[in-house]
Structure 1
């Protein structure tokens, strides 16, 4: 089966798992036209360096909040990154840690709390009194707020092994909100590469990124791994300490891009940028200009 056949088959599967017709005003003609465009131009984004605001502009506002995402928009980042987990009652919310303890005035694991309980928490005061009362957003809320704004979204599936089926749930949310077929609007990434492979099977037209940890790959990334990853990923996103000219060249030879994380100083930004990376993920978006 050729690539267009695979895309159409995957799209049919996506419709089947929704149990509903196309959403948000899409017709079959417009969707298949956009799918065909994705086949011709797989990655469509701003030319030049890709500036990703880590958990929003988290150097200036509390991470994974609307305040941080608004700041990223104001600072003209190309993307903001966010972390998705699931509540006890099945809602997709934004939280980096498995627990709410560090970034809210509450306690407990995300998976053991309902959306109502999480929405009652203060997610801003830990950062600054200026942000007292900031709420934990849902993924749906963020997609509604930013889908037509001049910024793209990098979605991390955080600990997806804790949330069976979250790949399908995210895929359906992107379809429902009309963003999954917009070239370059969304990238989905994860440290769990099996989960990312599952996501790619559901929506192969959506860009994906393999996150690469320093702990697991301290000895380096093999050519074999790169060949494996390119089957389901468009980006290799490693800890910046793993990045050198050789890794960047090998990623590019495998027709992927590379966005290291997390850059927090100008010295690090300059050093990483000199290796030829395609962009980076930073708490301070001005470092990516």
Structure 2
């Protein structure tokens, strides 16, 4: 039996939204497309430096359903939001640097001078700034590098009462399936997702196994088919696909009837932005 059936987890389906040709109408009207969960990949990373407060704030302003963040751990044990496991063009590992050293880095100027001085945010800072305002999709990035990170994440979520059934706007995901099994044990009422770009993980046997601890199956859009979407749904999970960086990819995923689209450009998913 799937985790969803066991604990009743999962997000409610959203309402319909405007078609593209009425995208900028003053009042949204019901269109032909069903709205999916609009997830801002590392914030609105197409328009602002990824995994920064600037990108997350912009995503919130664009009225997304979720911001997606990457979580790793500093040398002195602080959780931070950063995608790559190295900094300074690959010369230093995130886990070998203290929070102070990481915070001293300029995380924004590469995207534009207006973002100069943007810092790498902490996980706690993100939770405190955004919970209750927008959903948070938390990716544990290379958790195998950070033993015990699952417990650390769980503790911070519990401290804020975000592990309760009524708070369904937290999802935790990873490419590391064993890590997600641990998260499901630590936070059984929080939605869990598995990430993959491997077609070997799309078999019925694999999906059935994922459904024992995961609520979301989140593949790269290159392996999404209508058959896969139906199989994921038949196993009691939802499907969110990544990473959309053009309108064609968004249109394809709408056609596939996925439940969430993870994009650097939230306006490709909801053109009212």
Q: TM-score, normalised by structure 2?
A: 0.86
How far did 1:228 drift?
Answer: 0.4
Gaps of 5+ in 2: 15-34
Is the 2:9–2:215 Cα contact (8 Å) retained in structure 1?
no
How far did 1:142 drift?
Answer: 0.5
Structural mapping, 1:65-144, within 5 Å: 65-102=52-89, 107-144=91-128
Partner in structure 2 of residue 171 of structure 1: 154
How far did 1:220 drift?
Answer: 6.2
Secondary structure, aligned partner of 2:67:
strand
Is the 1:42–1:183 Cα contact (8 Å) retained in structure 2?
no
Partner in structure 1 of residue 268 of structure 2: 287
CA distance in 2, matches of 1:55, 1:43: 22
Partner in structure 2 of residue 194 of structure 1: 178
Structural mapping, 1:15-94, within 5 Å: 39=7, 41-45=8-12, 47=14, 48-94=35-81
The one of 204, 207, 210 aligned to 2:188: 204
The 1:179/1:219 distance shift into structure 2, 3 A limit, reads: closer
Does residue 267 (structure 1) correspond to residue 254 (structure 2)? The answer is no
CA distance in 2, matches of 1:157, 1:123: 20
Structural mapping, 1:201-280, within 5 Å: 201-213=185-197, 217-218=198-199, 221-280=202-261
Q: After superposition, what is the alpha-carbon deviation per residue over 1:124-158, rounded to whole angstroms, capped at 9, x for unaligned? A: 01111110000000000011111132x10000000
Q: TM-score, normalised by structure 1?
A: 0.81
CA distance in 1, matches of 2:202, 2:45: 29
CA distance in 1, matches of 2:53, 2:13: 23
**Root-mean-square deviation (Å):** 1.8
Is the 2:107–2:116 Cα contact (8 Å) retained in structure 1?
yes
Gaps of 5+ in 1: 7-37
Higher fraction of strand:
2
CA distance in 2, matches of 1:125, 1:68: 13
How far did 1:257 drift?
Answer: 0.4
CA distance in 1, matches of 2:156, 2:200: 37
Is the 1:43–1:183 Cα contact (8 Å) retained in structure 2?
no
CA distance in 1, matches of 2:63, 2:113: 25
CA distance in 1, matches of 2:200, 2:66: 30
Is the 1:44–1:183 Cα contact (8 Å) retained in structure 2?
no
Count residues with an aligned counterpart: 246
- Runs of 4+ in structure 1 over 3 Å off: none
Partner in structure 2 of residue 153 of structure 1: 136
Is the 2:201–2:207 Cα contact (8 Å) retained in structure 1?
no
